[in-house]
Each structure stands twice: as C-alpha cells, then as structure tokens.
Structure 1
Amino acid sequence: MISIVVPAHNESSVIGRTLRQWIDAADSGEFDVVVVCNGCTDDTAEVARQFGAAVKVLETDVASKTDALNLGDRAARGFPRIYVDADVVMSIDTMRTLAGRLDRGDVLAAAPTADIDLSGCSWLVRRYYEIRSRLPSAREGVGGSGVYAVSEQGRSRFGEFPAVTADDTYVRLQFTPGERVTLPDARSTIFPPRGLPQLIAVRTRVHRGTLELARLFPELLTNSGESNGRVLLALFREPLLWPGLMIYCCVNLFARRRAIRHVQSGAHLWQRDESSRVALSADSCK
C-alpha cells in the first residue's frame, strides 16, 4: 500500500482538487491517504472529509508543517511514502510511477518533474521563471515539485521531521545525488506567486530555509549537488536574457538579505503565497 501524507493549513480552496486526482481513480486499497489539517481556521477538514473513508483526516491546533508531517507519518500505514503539498496538481499515474521507481530499490528518494503554471503571472514573474527554468535547481524535483517520495529504507535515514522551514530540502540532503532521482516521465504542476511582492516573500522563505539548514545541519550540505552559479554566469553571454537575469538576480539578492535579517532578529514569518490559491479557488471544487 502506498501512503500519501498531505499537510494542509487553510487549504479549503484547493484541497478538494488535490485529493480528487487520486481518490476518484484509485483501485480499492491502493492508497492510504492522510490529510493533516494544522492550525486551520477554514473548512479544510470538512472538504477533505467529503471523500469519506478513502481519506483519513487529522486535525491539530498547531500551525506547523513539520508537526503535521510527523502526525501524518504516525498515522500512515504503508510504503513507499509520498509527501504532497496541498496545492499541487498531480495525477494518479505520477503517484504510481514514483512508487514503482522506488520499488526497484536502486534509489531511496524520488520526485516528479515540476511544470510551472504561469497563467495569470505578471511579466516580471514570468521573466524570473524563464531564467530559473535554465538552472540546475529547476531539474531537482525533491524540493522543487511540491512532492517527494521515499522508500521505507529511505525514510529510515532520519527520525521525526525537525522544526525547519525547508522540510523538502532537509529530506533531499539526506541522500546523495546518486540516491535520489527526479523522473522526467512523472509530472506535477505547481502554481507560483502571481506578482513580484509575493515572489520576493516566497524566495525569502526559501533562503531562510537554506540558511537554517546550513546552521543546524552543516554536515548535510555535502549532498547539495550542482549549484546554479556557473550556469547562471554563462547565461549572461546571451543579451536577450539580460532583462530576466537582472530580475532573477535582484529578486534573490533582496530575498536573501531579508532572510538574513529575519534569522539575525529571530523573526519567524512563514510568508506563504496566497495569490496563486486565490486565482485557482474557483476551479478547486469542480
């Protein structure tokens, strides 16, 4: 049985769409789905319960993704285990492909390739993602696709999820590049921020997560893989890319500076993007 853990914080606008992708097409007993509603003030739990016995719904007052992941792990029954952000679009075939790849035993972690849906995004955001798509980090699904899957052996690499901002990066760094894989024939769709302020906020969270892991788990950084620096510099040889490169570099420089200030001050702001969820809310319950 494949277990799927979905941490959800105020995701009523998208959780129905996410679950319907798998529940409506799954064979009996194929999936063990656990939705952990953490610190919700909306009806996320009620929407998830509409799927009946096919979905186990847990609720906690603690608004923490890593706490939700730990609660989901305790309730989950099977392996491979797939962790999915509540706003990701992913087919049941992708789930099966991830599980099948892990069942071969030669890798311990797997993720789909991310498709970025830029519908409704501003010109600035589009240029940012045009550059990002050319970088090595864009080809890393564990930490870029909103989904990661681990085998039972892979899950044994670490205990409970620590209280970190970047749970996906923490998991990726448990494995060497040869132990993890991003599958080109498995896809997930993620929805980026629609505007520049929201993009900066999300990138601030990403940089904060990286700084946090470097401080708490420096020994894991040896598993980082290829960096973006060399490829990014090479892109400057193409003048047509300069506008996008300036946007990409400025966003990340500004976001990193903000992240450093947050770390130094002890501020802990989640900075979740709401713009993509609002844009999709009308379609979520169809």
Structure 2
Amino acid sequence: MVTDTEGPTVGGTGPIASVVIPAHDEAAVIARTLVALARGVRPDAFEVVVVCNGCTDDTAVVARTIAPLARVIEIPQPSKAEAVRVGNAAASLFPRIHLDADVELTGRDVVALVRAIDQDGLLAAGPRRVQPTAGCARTVRWYYGFWEQLPRVRSGLFGRGAFALSVEGQRRVSELPTMLNDDLGVDTVFAAGEYRIVDEAVVTVRPPRTLRDLLRRRVRVATGNTQAASLGLRAGGGVPLAEVGRTARRSPRLAAQLPIFLGVTLLARIGARRAVRAGDFTSWLRDESSRA
C-alpha cells in the first residue's frame, strides 16, 4: 500500500509510477526536489530515474545520497532532450511522471496525478502551480501576478515543471521534434478533455528573484515560442493581445500590473531576436537566483 499520511491510500504493491528527472548541474536544488518527492508515501512508491546530463558539479552524488533507491544515470551530453530520452528508456512504468530537478512535487501530489490518469482515463495531467514570490523584486512579483491570471497560463500544461502521461500520452510526446520549450510542445498535443490540471496536486515553482534573471528566463521562452511556431506547433509568438487586454480589465490590480507585464514581454522578444536569427534553439538561459 502507498500511504498518504493525510488522506486515503492507493491499493496494490510495488511502485505505482515512474518518475523521470533530467538534471544538469542541479546540486544546489536536487535534494529538495527528491525530499519532496518522498513526502507522504513509502520509500519504494515510485520508480525514480535521475539522469544527470553533462554535470560538472555533485548532482549525481547528492541524488544518490538523498534517494538511495533511485536509479541515477550519468551521460556526458548537457542536453535535457537526451536526458529525457535516456530516462524514458530506463523507466518501465506508467503513468510516467516528468519532473524538473528544480521544482517541488510531493509524493502525495504524484499520487493525485496518477489517480487522474488511471481512474479518469486522461492522457496527461498537470499539477496546480504555486510560485512563492517573497523576496523577489517588485517587477518580478508584478509580472507573475499578471501572468498567472492569463487563461492560457492557468489551463496549460506548460510552465509547471511537472506532468504525468499515460502510455498513449507518452507516445504522442515522444513523437515531438526536439524543442527548447519542451513543455510547450507537450501542451500542443492534447485536446480539451484529454488532459486536466489537477487541483489536488500542487507543484512549487520558484521564480527568479531579480529582473535580470526574469528577463533571461523570458528570452528563453520567447525564443522557444518562435521555434514552436516555425514547427507548426503553435500559432503566433505568445499570448494573444486580446487575451491580455481581457485579463487587465478584470481588476484594478491587474490593470496596474499590465505595463510591467508588457514591458518584460517586449524586452524578452527583442532579446530573443539574436538567437532566432542565428537559429540557436539550444542555448539554455536559466536563471540562478531561483536556485539560491
């Protein structure tokens, strides 16, 4: 039995799902991710595969120490796409949970995603996203205060750092071309009714603390949006202006945050132009402040 210490249990014996975690130089945060994953369930509840790709730090050592039952694989290429491929080849169970190494999803939350796949017949499921902005610059807080209220952001699978797939869901995702914004690609292959955001499952995604790091993250997203559009996977380069306008009209608070949201979005698109012109859809501009 997989026991949720604050709720019901899941029947059966042995692992109930595989969890694939690609990790590149994540020694500073992988421990909190793995500790959260073990919370509320027995130690062998999941088949956990951590793929350390191109690491120059102690990510693998930390992962083996914190999660001795996990399978930790090291590959030389610093490539998330290759790490996911290797992790999928090593994993044997469905539902298949894909988890970024810098987010926190508890074992109880994984159980909720597994239930959504197994009991509701969904092809994909994502957790509700929480972004703690305490300690972040005001511009960062205002940007995400607006971004989180966009309907597409609230309902999409992207930007969560975690999602669960059925066998058919994994088949569809595996057929996608390699993309900078891999979660955006995932979001495009499921129709309404085939996936759901599960409110009972919560993932903590730590935002950048500084405007500079926010822009680095958003330049990467803008570059990936352009790539997705060029592949025919998503029309346009982001959220439609009409949706932005409707969101701003919902409250005075959102209207006040609108200039910050638009300013950051514009700067990110300008910053992405160089990568787009060069056809560079592989450089990973991650922020370090969220990993502090």
TM-score normalised by L of structure 1? 0.89
Contact 1:110 1:182 in 2 (8 A): yes
1:141-220 alignment runs, 5 A limit: 141-159=156-174, 162-216=177-231, 218=232, 220=233
Asked whether 1:276 is paired with 2:290, we answer yes
Kindly tell me the number of residue pairs found equivalent between the two proteins: 274
User: Over residues 232-259 of structure 1, what are the superposed CA-to-partner deviations in whole Å (9 max), with x where a residue is unaligned?
Assistant: 2134445554441111001111111222
Equivalent positions of 1:1-286 (< 5 A) are: 1-23=16-38, 25-27=40-42, 29-51=44-66, 53-159=68-174, 162-216=177-231, 218=232, 220-221=233-234, 227-237=239-249, 238-267=251-280, 268-278=282-292
Counterpart of 2:289, as a letter, is S
Per the TM alignment, residue 161 of structure 1 is displaced from its structure 2 partner at its CA by: 5.8
5+ residue gaps, structure 2, are 1-15
Provide the alpha-carbon RMSD of the alignment: 2.1
Q: Distance in 2 between matches of 1:271 and 1:101?
A: 33
Higher relative contact order (CA 8 A, sep 6+): 1
Contact 2:39/2:107 (CA < 8 Å) preserved in 1? no
Distance 1:24 1:182, change over 3 A: closer
Q: Decide which structure has greater helix share.
A: 1
Which deviations, in whole Å up to 9, do the C-alpha atoms of 1:198-226 show, x marking residues without a partner? 1111011111111111112x1x338x9x9
Cα separation, 1, equivalents of 2:234 and 2:240: 15
Q: CA deviation at 1:137?
A: 2.8
Q: Map Cα deviations across residues 101-121 of structure 1 (whole Å, 9 max, x no partner).
A: 000253201000100110210
Structure 1 unaligned segments of length 5 or more: list them.
279-286
1:110–1:180 contact (8 Å) kept in structure 2? yes
| C-alpha distance in 2 between matches for 1:127 and 1:52 | 37
Equivalent position of 2:10 in the other structure = none
CA 1:239–1:23 in structure 2 vs 1: closer, same or farther (change >3 Å)? closer
Letter in 1 for 2:284: W
3-state DSSP class of the match of 2:243?
helix
Distance 2:181 2:161 in 1: 11
CA distance in 2, matches of 1:154, 1:251: 34
> 2-side partners of 1:139 and 1:57: how far apart?
33
Among the aligned pairs, what percent are the same residue?
39
**d(CA) in 1 for partners of 2:108, 2:19:** 14
Distance 1:171 1:78 in 2: 19
Q: CA deviation at 1:129?
A: 1.2
Distance 1:198 1:140 in 2: 25
